[in-house]
Amino acid sequence: MDVMEKWPEIEKAATEKRRELVLQGTAVDKRISSCGGLTSSIYSLQLLNYLEVSQCPSLTEIHEDVQRLTNLQSLILCRNKLSAVPKVIGSLKSLKVLDLSVNDLKSLPDGITQLRELNTLNVSCNSLEVLPDGLSQCIKLSTINVSKNRLTRFPPDLCSEQLDLLSTLVASDNFIEKLSGDIHKLSALKVLDVSNNKLTEIPPHLSDCPKLKEINFKGNKLSDKRLEKMVNGCQTKSILDYLRGKGRERQGEDGADADGGRHADKKKKQQQRKKKGKEAEEQDEVKELNRTVVRVLHVSDAPTALTVKVSTKVKDVRPYLVCCMVTGMNLKSGNALKRFLMAQTKLHDDLCGKRTIATIATHDAQLLKGPLVYDVKPPTQLKILPLGRREMTAVELIRYLHLEAEELRKQKKRQNVTGLHKYLQLLEGKPLYPCLVDAEGDVISFPPITNSEKTKIKKTTKELFLEVTSATNLQTCKDVMDALIAKIAELNKFTAEHQEEAGSDGESNSAPEPAAGSQTCSQLTVQQVRTVDSDGNLKVVYPSKTDLCKDISNLTVVW
């Protein structure tokens, strides 16, 4: 049998000069098994910038010819049985995303350190005992996930000033015994998860990380029992404040040792201050907990306030969600609506990594019927009225989008997948799809694909309901939401300062426009929305006191 007959996807990709190729699942696995490995013809597709081969237990190795795919930006080889990765992977100079999670890797090649454009490295769920030295050479790294391995330490240069873009470091479920005091050199670090390791100490210098918002040290037997108790029950700020206090104590102790016996009375006074300091810290901790309670109480309990109930079933699909309300947006004037939609698209392409990291959904809040439920449904049961289309199931929508993509390629001879079609790969192989459902049982959001026509944003929309979902982590959702709101505020200010006639973008609007020379207010108000679990317990509220830290003149946050 001809090779191309066994691999029609590869023949199709070659003929149509495609840039993306996804091979996954049982059918592909059987072919890999019968061929004794992945067909070599795949390495001739040198136009590829996205390649995924996943969920294939028969795939145990990748040939060195992978170095021929020099245009690759994303290489996804997760949920296979890879025992090794060739060193020549360092030749993929354009690679930005490398996912080797859920394999049988015991080591990584040094070649990975040559990937200067790499921003996401996921090697979780393997059997790695060490990471290669030299990761600091990958200066664009922003996310590293090494959870569920056998690591006992981090490479010495991981806590390097060169990694000034590293914002997420996940290393849970390993055997790590020590965290370097140089951790504070990671100036962009926002999320640190080293839960379920062998740590006995947390370096006080961790409190010097300027952007740190989310830490997890649970499951470590810390020598400081008070700190261990805080780790298991307190918020990040309380822990960092405690570590900051310990750092000051240590500096004081070092100074006392230097003066030695010549100043015994000074040492005695210092011990007294230390005792008072501990009492003060305990009071600070109580105050912080009180402030935490106040934050929760500040969330509106009004009957009209929207809440989102999160189903436990989203845990293994797309578990993270934050929402909020924004009022005061002026979309009537001129091209305001078009600018708003273009800004959302740009955020999707850049900060959201083409929706692979997070997905934004915007709704007309006045068309929402609360309370809302964030849930999952089988593809055949998820029904939605997609933007600009008739109502259909997720299965029908995906089939339709595939056909539409093929037709576009034939008509315009496009090499790239465009529009919604390029996001379909994010759902392949998933038995359940995430969705946001309103009180009437209608699906108003189907991330990462589309929103519903039911809550579509229009020129007359004055109140926005914003939603950000992610499979990465909660902080990612918050960072994206922060950026989205900042952009909305910027656009509203621009609209107010540059009066335009309505309808200049081709849409008519019967509502009267301000008289010439009148001033439109650009002030926005952000109202909190809380998400709760199936029992009604608070999961997250956005914005909290630590969100939206950027000073935005035309923005008011209602706590």
- The three-point CA angle 72-74-78 to 5° equals 125
Beta-bridged to residue 58, according to DSSP, are: none
What is the C-alpha to C-alpha distance for residues 416 and 448, in angstroms, rounded to an integer? 19
What is the C-alpha to C-alpha distance for residues 161 and 184, in angstroms, rounded to an integer? 9
- In the block, tokens 């010495």 appear at 156
In a domain, 344, yes or no: yes
Select from 65, 97, 127 the last residue of a domain: 127
What distances in angstroms separate CA 233 from CA 227, 237, 256, 471, one per listed residue? Answer: 10, 12, 33, 24
Q: What radius of gyration do the chain's Cα atoms show?
A: 26
In a domain, 133, yes or no: no
**Residue 74: CB partners within 8 Å, gap ≥ 6?**
49, 50, 51, 52, 95, 96, 97, 99, 356
Burial class (CB in 10 A: 0-12, 13-18, 19+), 236: middle
- In the block, tokens 């108000």 appear at 525
What pLDDT does residue 317 have?
87
What is the percentage of the chain residues whose pLDDT exceeds 90? Answer: 43
Average pLDDT for residues 98-107, to the nearest whole number?
Answer: 93
What is the C-alpha to C-alpha distance for residues 540 and 293, in angstroms, rounded to an integer? 13
pLDDT in tens, 332-376: 888 899 999 999 988 888 888 778 788 999 999 999 888 899 999
Q: Show the domain range for 442.
A: 307-558
What is the C-alpha to C-alpha distance for residues 391 and 387, in angstroms, rounded to an integer? 10
What is the percentage of the chain residues whose pLDDT exceeds 70? Answer: 79
Q: How many residues are recorded in the chain?
A: 559
Angle between the N-to-C axes of helices 236-259 and 225-233, in degrees from 0 to 180, rounded to the nearest 10: 160
In a domain, 137, yes or no: no
Question: How many structural domains does the chain have?
Answer: 2
pLDDT in tens, 34-63: 888 899 999 999 999 889 898 899 999 999
- Which of the four pLDDT bands, split at 50, 70 and 90, describes residue 424? low
pLDDT above 70: residue 243: yes
In a domain, 366, yes or no: yes
Residue 353 zone, left/alpha/beta (φ > 0; ψ -120 to 50; rest):
left
The residue with greater pLDDT, 301 or 423, is: 423
Select from 103, 127, 151 the last residue of a domain: 127
In a domain, 167, yes or no: no
In a domain, 249, yes or no: no
pLDDT in tens, 151-180: 999 998 998 899 999 999 999 999 999 999
Q: The domain spanning residue 548 has which CATH number?
A: 3.50.40.10
pLDDT above 80: residue 16: yes
Closest by alpha carbon to 429, among 391, 398, 460, 385?
A: 398
In a domain, 79, yes or no: yes
pLDDT above 70: residue 301: no
Select from 75, 104, 127 the last residue of a domain: 127
In a domain, 188, yes or no: no
What pLDDT does residue 273 have?
56
Average pLDDT across the chain, whole number: 81
- The three-point CA angle 553-556-558 to 5° equals 160
pLDDT above 70: residue 517: no
- What is the value of pTM for the model shown? 0.54
Q: Is residue 300 a contact partner of residue 524, using CB atoms and an 8 Å limit? A: no
Q: The domain spanning residue 58 has which CATH number?
A: 3.80.10.10
What pLDDT does residue 236 have?
77
The residue with greater pLDDT, 470 or 403, is: 470
pLDDT above 50: residue 295: no
Six-digit token string for 203: 């370096």
- In the block, tokens 């001879």 appear at 413
Q: Is residue 163 a contact partner of residue 144, using CB atoms and an 8 Å limit? A: no
Q: Are strands 320-327 and 524-532 parallel, antiparallel or unpaired?
A: antiparallel
